[in-house]
Amino acid sequence: MNPIPPAEAEVHPSLGSTTLAILWKDLSAELRSRELLSAMLVFALLVILIFNFALDLKPAIRREVTSGVLWATFAFAGTLGLNRSMATEKDRGCLDGLLLAPVDRSAIYFGKALGNLAFMLVIEAIVLPVYSVLYNVNLFNLGLMMIILMGSVGYVAVGTLLSTMSVQTRTRDMLLPILLFPLVIPILIAAVKASAGFLDASPWRDIAPWFNLLLVYDVIFVAIAFMVFDYVVEE
């Protein structure tokens, strides 16, 4: 066996580069196994199927409930992804590996959150056209896309923080939706209303309050999660 050669002089890794390293790691692992995305996708389609029977999505009522069904689907499928993404860190002790690195703890938060956001957006990008085809509704609407992005940002900002907490408890996966849903109600209400507004081509003044609410929520919760993440991982 060869002796260990000395490493080149190190530089202090920046917040951006370590965040991207974590994001890259999550994406390439997922690209290979596709475990998380396939589970989220199948689950999302099942939720839509259940709504189909539960609400009897006739053309007459479909119009009003579409945005509600979509957001309920995203919220349920989202917890699956959030749980799984954190469980892979916890199960093999990788969370400790991340914490041992001389990186800002916010890099861990942002890296994980961006990965979770990417997974959410992929699922949404698949669910939307599928829903359009199944129910013959046109969902290709720039306003709707923007609301979906904003809603997902807030959802993932809180979800990533809470999944980091829930994964460190005894009850684990079970706990995440219980912790998450009461806190994301403002997002769900605002996103459902704003999405419905865009789908009905309502005037901007009807949509604006919901848009603003989403924006405020996103800003507050990204900031607060950034501030408290240390307390959730540091012992």
Based on the shown chain and the rule CB under 8 A, indicate whether residue 219 belongs to the binding site for other proteins.
no
CA geometry: angle 193, 196, 202, nearest 5 deg: 100
231 binds other proteins (CB under 8 A): yes
Nearest to 168 by CA among 217, 232, 124: 232
Tell me how crowded residue 87 is: count the other CB atoms within 10 A of its CB: 16
Residue 208 in contact with other proteins, rule: CB under 8 A: no
Q: Between residue 141 and residue 180, which ones bind other proteins under the rule CB under 8 A?
A: 158, 161-162, 165-166, 168-172, 175, 178-179
Q: Give every CB contact of residue 68 below 8 A, 6+ residues apart in sequence.
A: 192, 196
The yes or no reply on residue 3 touching other proteins (CB under 8 A) is: yes
The Cα–Cα gap between 156 and 173 comes to 16
Question: Given candidates 82, 113, 147, 213, which one binds other proteins under the rule CB under 8 A?
Answer: 213
Take residue 105 and report the two structure tokens written for it. Answer: 């703890």
Of 56-64, 91-99, 126-134, 144-152, the segment contacting other proteins by CB under 8 A is 91-99
Work out whether 137 is an interface residue with other proteins (CB under 8 A): no
139 phi, psi to nearest 5 deg: -110, 5
Cα distance between residue 126 and residue 43, in whole Å? 12
Indicate which single residue of 24, 46, 55, 219 sits in contact with other proteins (rule: CB under 8 A): 24
Q: Does 215 bind other proteins (CB under 8 A)?
A: no
Does residue 16 belong to the site contacting other proteins (CB under 8 A)?
Answer: no
CB of 49 to other proteins, least distance (A): 27
